[in-house]
Structure 1
Amino acid sequence: MWESTGPAAQALGALPSLAAAGTLVWAVARPRPALRQRLGRLAHPTTVCATLSLITTATMPQAGFGSAWKLVEVAFLLILLAVITRWSPLRELVPALPLAALAVTVWPLVLVSGESFLESIGIATFWLLPAAGAVAAGAHLRRQEARRRNAVAEARSAQRLQLSRDLHDFVAHDISGIVVQAQAARFVAATDPTQAMLALERIEKAGLSALAAMDRTVEMLNGPEAPAATEPLPGVSQLQSLIDDFTSAGATEAYLELPPVVTDLLSREAGTAAYRIVVEALTNVRRHAPDASRATVAFVPTATTVEIRVTNDRSTRAPARRRASRGGLGLPALTEHAQALGGTLSAGPYGGDGWRLTAVLPAMPRG
């Protein structure tokens, strides 16, 4: 048996403490960018330190100087327990946590070898509490970090969804107008150069509008540190210009019925959503009902809502069904947006061969 105060006992008692201290120094004495990676690799060294602690507990009496080393050793093991619970991969925690907790729990039992079984259980339970506390602290920090990562991932997902909606709602509308104008200019270029020049001017205007939407998208991609966009998102006040551009770009005559009170009833977010809804509806008319002669955009205010009706005649509904089956971003995304605002959106056949999109958005209380 080792002498508890001899040099050999002192060296053996100090070994687990020195190993645990060296493990912590190895992890933190590195440049900050590598610190997270080092902390995540402490599970295996902790297993080694806990094994050394259990060996010294089982092979030497704990008294005098050896007991002092054990207290230092337990302190280091508790720190390692918290660190590995926070940083190490879950698969590496399976051997490390039980061994380290066991080493913290059983070390004083050799000091009370003459006590009853129940007293030994009480002592072990008492020393299990700090081990459980260290694991709980590490688990709490790990959970907080997981929540933070999930929040960041959700924010990025929402931003990507918003970007895709912007690209679809605005850029696709402008590009479809460019295509229509280019087709018209090709047919009238030889016989009516004046009309061809007007079509080219409208193509230029639609192209500039698409570039503005792309600029807003790039600014959002640059992150929160980028300067805010100077051009606000369009709302109901820009609808008349949208209707005029749509009519001038094709054969379908578009009409707007917008009571002045609607501007005051819709919040800024709801007004932007209303504009997006009208853009999507008119874009679908241009794509799927190019032979429509008339499209009507009507806003119907009530006491608590504003209803938007976009109706066109002679709708070609089969292409619309094919587009929906591909999971397009247009109407499904706008339906989710309207529901998020507390409203609804639906679309379907109307009046024989026509088509109608109906959206209901909540209105702000009247003053």
Structure 2
Amino acid sequence: MGESTGPAVMALGALPSLVAAGSLVWAVACRRAAVRRRLGRLALPTAVCAGLSLITSFAPLRAGSGWKLAEAALLLLLVAVVTRWSRLPHLVWALPPAALAVTLWPLALVTGESFLESVGIGAFWFLPVAAAAASGAYPRRQELRRRRAVAEARAAQRLQLSRDLHDFVAHDISGIVVQAQAARFVAAADPSHAVIALERIEKAGLSALAAMDRTVRMLHGPETAATEPLPDLSQLHVLVENFTLAGAAEAHLDLPRPVTERLTREAGSVAYRTVVEGLTNIRRHAPHASRVTVAFSPTATTVEIRITNDRGAGPSAGRVTRGGGLGLPALTEHARALGGSLAAGPHGDGGWQLTAVLPVAPAEEKTS
């Protein structure tokens, strides 16, 4: 069965090419915003063109090889487009018939070849199919990786925002609550103490607003967030002093000078957050504590941080420490990421202790 050139045969041979070309023209002949959506809908036209190509390739009356070459070129273009833009379920039934149509069409034009020669011809024509699929799969994979990276970055940013809100805003708001409670009880008997409490409430409120402003600036992009300095050990004295002024507990800070020189910037930030978390939990869950100690103990390779209160950390505090609070689990992750550890548990007679161990900076980092 050789090639035929009658009008009906020519029309039949041109049909797959016309369908493929018409599908591509339909996809791009629209507004730019709709092109990508239409390109994603070419899976069905691709399968139809592949089926017509297979029918016309092995029909009793066949068109000339020129039409088949045009079909193969258009099908390869459709393979690349469908691989790039169509949904994965559509690729399952669109790509196999297109690959068969391009691979098998030369076999209908040759006769007398052995089985191995036919396999070689099919394998040769499968190479452009693989290349077309790869040309569409590579940008698709890059787009998926970009979207995944954006999603991971957004998730990390949301986590960081929640940690900042928990660590700093919750600390200041808990101080406001304590001062408001104190002012309510002393307002009638000693208005001067109520005025002092109001001044401390104002100061804590301004600090909370500053923390929220810092958090909001993080939403505007990494450039803005990068310019915001992280809290570090230099602010601990003010933090502990404000804690003492805000409540009934007297807090003491033991911070040897070598500690601030041996901790890295990131470790210093984690240490500051650990102290904030410990003091906030004491204020919320051990309001009757009378003495709080924040002690830094340096060793050869680590710095140990202990936040201890003498009493008032009852069963409720234990449940918070082991339960679903956001502060301690997040701080534990931070400490482990730096190569340290964090633990909390009962201490002494009804007290509670939060302990963190952070590695010190390497010698070459300290001297740089």
Tell me the TM-score normalized by structure 1.
Answer: 0.93
Aligned to 2:138: 140
Q: Distance in 1 between matches of 2:16 and 2:275?
A: 72
Runs of 4+ in 1 over 6 A off after TM superposition: none
Report sequence identity in percent.
72
CA distance 1:73–1:298, shift in 2 (3 Å): same
Residue 219 of structure 1 aligns with an amino acid whose one-letter code is R
Q: Distance in 1 between matches of 2:212 and 2:60?
A: 74
Aligned to 1:149: 147
Aligned counterparts, 1:164-313, within 5 A: 164-224=162-222, 227-228=224-225, 231-313=228-310
Q: Distance in 2 between matches of 1:101 and 1:3?
A: 23
Aligned to 2:42: 42
Q: 1:171: Cα distance to partner?
A: 0.5
Aligned to 2:126: 128
Cα deviation 1:72-102 (Å, max 9, x = unaligned): 2111211211221222112111211111011
Q: Distance in 2 between matches of 1:258 and 1:198?
A: 29
Residue 82 of structure 2 aligns with an amino acid whose one-letter code is I
Q: How many residue pairs align between the two structures?
A: 364
Cα deviation 1:31-85 (Å, max 9, x = unaligned): 333232222211111111111211211226556xx31121121112112112212
Q: 1:260: Cα distance to partner?
A: 1.5
Aligned to 1:18: 18
3-state DSSP class of the match of 1:112? coil
Cα deviation 1:1-54 (Å, max 9, x = unaligned): 896334433332222122212222222333333232222211111111111211
**Equivalent of 2:349 in 335, 341, 352:** 352
Q: Distance in 1 between matches of 2:335 and 2:32?
A: 46
Gaps of 5+ in 2: none
CA distance 1:141–1:293, shift in 2 (3 Å): same
Q: Distance in 2 between matches of 1:326 and 1:33?
A: 49
Structure 1 window deviating more from structure 2 (25-34 vs 201-210): it is 25-34
Aligned to 1:104: 102
Contact 1:61 1:110 in 2 (8 A): no
Gaps of 5+ in 1: none
Aligned to 1:8: 8
Structure 1 window deviating more from structure 2 (132-141 vs 248-257): it is 132-141
Structure 1 window deviating more from structure 2 (132-141 vs 335-344): it is 132-141
Q: Distance in 2 between matches of 1:155 and 1:113?
A: 59
Residue 316 of structure 2 aligns with an amino acid whose one-letter code is P
Q: Distance in 2 between matches of 1:285 and 1:354?
A: 10
Contact 2:321 2:344 in 1 (8 A): no
Tell me the TM-score normalized by structure 2.
Answer: 0.93
**Equivalent of 1:342 in 312, 334, 339:** 339
